[in-house]
A and B are shown apart, each in its own frame.
Chain A
Amino acid sequence: MEAFEILFTASLWAAAVRIASPLIFGTLGELICERAGVLNLGIEGIMTAGAFSGWLAVYLGGDLWLGVAVAALVGACLGLLHGFMVVPLGLSQHVTGIGITLLATALSYYFYRIAFPEVTSPPKIEPFAVFPVPGLADLPIIGPALFQQTPLTYLAFIAVALVAWFLYRTPAGLAVRTVGENPAAAEAQGINVVTVRILAVMAGSALMGIGGSFITLSAFNSFFFEMTNGRGWICIALVVFAAWQPGKALLGAILFGLFDAYQLRLQQLAGSVVPYQVFLMLPFVLSVVALIVMSRRVAYPRALMVPYRKGER
C-alpha cells in the first residue's frame, strides 16, 4: 500500500475519529473553562482521574454509563477545587493547574494500588462495543469513520453541538462568555462572576473526566498509570487552534487524530529509511504548523487568566 492510497482507506478515517474522541471531550472542557476566563492546566490529571474512576466504577460492577457519570463527577470535583483556588482566592492559574494535574495523577495511582495491592497483570473490564448506526454505517468511508464507532464517540459529537448551542444560544452561555471577556460588565448586569466561573470550570472539568474515561472504557479495557500520555496537553493546544470555538475544536481534534492515524500507517511501509521517531513526531509537528497558521487571527478571551476582584479598578 502506497503512502497516498492510505488516505482513501476507510480504516484510516475510522482510526482518526477514534483517536480524536478523547481529545474532543478534553478540548471542549478546556474551551469552556477558558471561555469563562480560567486556564485549566489540571486537564492532564483530571483526564487521568476520569480514566481511573470511570474504569473502577465499571470494574466494581457498575454499568458502563455509570462509569462515565462517575468520571464526570470526579472531574467536576477536581474542577471545583481548581475553581475555588483560582476564582475566589485568585491564585496563579498556571501553578494551581499543574498542582491539580500532579495531585489527580498521583491520587489515581494511589487509589489504584489501594484497590489492587496484589495483582500481577492489570485487571480488565468489558468496554463499550462498536455500535453501528443503522442506515448510515454502510456509507463508503463516512460510514466506518463516523457511524461505526462506540457510543462514547457519538456522545463526543453530541457534546460539540450541545456546547456550541449552550455558549451561543442560551443566556447562561452568554454569561460564561461575558465573565471571560469583561467580568466587570458582567457584574454590572447582575451576574455573579465567581459563581459562573466556578460552575464553568466544573462543567469543563466534567467533560475532561469523560474524555479520560474514553481511554479506559472505550479505547482500552484496563487502567495504566501513565496512559493519558500527554493527551491533555494536546487539548490545551487544540483550544488555541480552535480559536475558542466548539466547531473548530472538533475539526482540530479530528485533524490531529488523522495525522496520528496516518503516521501509524506510514510507519508500516516497507523499505523506510526514516527513523520511527520522525513518524511519531509528525502529528505534533503538523499540529504546531496548523496552530501557527490558524492562530494568526486568534482573539483570546480578554479576561483569560485575570482574576476578578470585586470593586477593584
Chain B
Amino acid sequence: MPHNIFPLNRRNILKLGAASAALPFMARAAHAAAIKTAAIYTVPVEQQWVSRIHKAATTAKERGDIEYVFSEKVANTDYERVMREYCEAGHQLIVGEAFAVEDAARAVAKDYPDRAFLIGSSFPPDAAANPNFAVFDNYIQDASYLTGLIAGAMSKGNIGMVGGYPIPEVNRLMNAFMAGVRVTRQDAKFQVAFIGSWFDPPKAKETALAQIDAGADLLYAERFGVSDAAKERKVLAVGNVIDTQGDYPETVVASALWHFEPTLDAAIAAVQAGSFKADDYGQYSFMKAGGCSLAPLGTFEGKVPADLMAQVKETEEKIKAGSFTVAIDDSEPKSS
C-alpha cells in the first residue's frame, strides 16, 4: 500500500487552514520592497551587545531591505506592551531580546502568528508552541577563543576578567577566552569578578584596578570601564563584542567582534521567502557563518609575535573549515 503522504486528518486540515490564512501576508511580504521591522531593546543602543544589532539593522535599512524603527531602554515590565504596539502597528519582523521576559515575549508571538519574531534568548526555540518565534544570541566563542590565544602569549600569566552578571551569554565567551589562553599559557591564573550591574563603569573600573593590584597584567574587558583601568595602569586589555581600540590605542590588543548581519540577513531572507520558522539563529554568529571575527591588530601590528599570529591564523582557518570546534561552555567561570 502506498504511503499516504498527506493523510486528511483533523490536524492537517487545521494546518491547511492556518497556511491559507497566512497566504495573503506571505504574498505581500514577497512583493514588498522593505519589510516593516521594529526592534525593541531594553538598553540604550550604545550598549555593546545592542549596538551590534542596531548597526546591522541600520545597514539593512540603508540597503532597502527593511523599514527600521526601534525603541531603546524599554523596561522589562513594559516590554510586552511595546511588542504588542509594534505588532498592532503592522510591523512584520520584530527583533528584540527576551532574556528577562521570556514568557511574555512568547505569549505575544502566539497572539500574532503572522508576524516573525527574531528574539535574543537563552532558551531554545519551541516550534510547536511558537512557530514564528526564532531565537539568536551572540555565539561568538570562536572569536573569543582566538583573542584568548593572543592574550595568553601577551600576558605573563595573570589575567583579570570583569563581567556584569554570570549569565550564559557572558560565561560562554569568558570560558572560550580562557580555553584559548590555556593553549598559549598553560599555567595562566585567572581572576574573575562580576559587578552585578550592566551599567556601572566606575565600579567595573574599580574592580579592574583591584585585579591589577593583585597582579593582573592583562584584562578581559566585558564591561565599559575595564579598558580605562588598563589604560591608566598601562596593562593590556582584550575587547569583547565591539572594537574599542580607537579609544585605547595602546591598551586594547585584540577584540572578538560580533557581527549581527548574517543573523538579520538570514531572517530577512526567510521572511521574504515566506519561510520564517522557529529556528535557532545562534549558528549565524559562528565564525564560519561570518557572525564573528577577530578585530584587526591595528596599533598592535608588529607588537604581537609573528609565530603567534601564524598559530591564530591557522586556528581560524580550522574553525572556518570545521575541523576545529570551540566548546560552548555556559557554566560560571571561577577565579583560579
**Physical interaction between A and B:** yes
Contact A225 B73 (CB under 8 A): yes
> A270 touches which one: B46, B189, B205 (CB < 8 A)?
B189
Known: A120-B46, A124-B247. A269 touches B335 (CB 8 A): yes
Closest to B72 in A: A113
Let me know if B228 and A220 touch, CB within 8 A: yes
Q: Which are the 5 A-B pairs with shortest beta-carbon distances?
A: A219-B202, A226-B199, A264-B210, A268-B191, A11-B213
Q: Is B225 an interface residue (CB 8 A)?
A: yes
B336-A264 in contact (CB<8A): no
A-B contact sample (19 more), CB < 8 A, given A121-B244, A227-B200: A11-B210, A11-B213, A15-B209, A15-B210, A109-B44, A121-B46, A220-B228, A224-B201, A227-B202, A229-B199, A260-B206, A264-B206, A264-B210, A265-B210, A265-B214, A268-B193, A270-B335, A271-B335, A272-B335
Min CB distance A207 to B, Å, is 19
Interchain nearest-CB distance for A154 vs B (Å): 18
- How many A-B contacts at CB < 8 Å in the complex? 99
Interface check B45, CB cutoff 8 A: yes
The reply to whether A265 and B195 form a contact with Cβ atoms under 8 Å apart is no
| Residue A122 interfacial (CB < 8 Å) | yes
**Which residue on A lies nearest to B200, using beta carbons?**
A229
> When the two chains form their complex, are residues B199 and A268 in contact, meaning their CB atoms are under 8 A apart?
no
B contacts with A, residue count (CB < 8 A): 40
Identity of the chain A residue whose Cβ is nearest the Cβ of B166 in the assembled complex: A276
Asked if B51 lies at the interface with its beta carbon under 8 angstroms from chain A, I say yes
Could you show 22 A-B contacts with beta carbons less than 8 Å apart? A11-B213, A15-B210, A120-B46, A120-B54, A120-B55, A121-B244, A122-B224, A219-B205, A220-B228, A224-B201, A225-B44, A225-B199, A226-B200, A227-B200, A229-B200, A229-B203, A265-B213, A268-B191, A269-B335, A270-B189, A276-B193, A280-B194
The docked-state distance in angstroms from the alpha carbon of A226 to that of B197 is: 9
A residues adjacent to B (C-beta < 8 A): 1, 9, 11-12, 15, 18-19, 109, 113, 119-122, 124, 215, 219-222, 224-227, 229, 260-261, 264-265, 267-272, 276-277, 280
C-alpha spacing A18/B242, complex, angstroms: 29
* Max chain B Cβ within 10 angstroms of own Cβ: one of A18, A113, A120: A120
| Cβ–Cβ < 8 Å partners of B209 in chain A | 11, 15
Q: Is the CB of B193 within 8 A of A264?
A: yes
In whole angstroms, what is the CA distance A156 to B20 when docked?
70
CB distance from A213 to the nearest CB of B (A): 12
Residues of B within 8 A of A (CB): 44-46, 51, 54-55, 73, 160, 166, 189, 191, 193-203, 205-207, 209-211, 213-215, 224-225, 228, 242, 244, 247, 334-336
Q: Mostly helix, strand, loop or mixed at chain A's interface?
A: loop
User: Shortest Cβ distance from B301 into chain A, in angstroms?
Assistant: 22
Is A224 a contact of B199 with CB atoms below 8 Å? yes
How far does the Cβ of B98 sit from chain A's closest Cβ, in whole Å? 20
A268 contacts B206, CB within 8 Å? no
Q: In the complex where A124-B247, A264-B210, A268-B191 touch, is A119 in contact with B196 (Cβ < 8 A)?
A: no
- Taking a contact as CB atoms closer than 8 A, the residue among B54, B160, B205, B242 that contacts A268 in the complex is B160
Query: With contacts A229-B197, A267-B193, A277-B196 known, is A121 near B210, CB below 8 A?
Result: no
**B54 near A9: Cβ-Cβ < 8 Å:** no
In angstroms, Cα B336 to Cα A219, docked, is 29
The closest CB in chain B to the CB of A123 belongs to B46
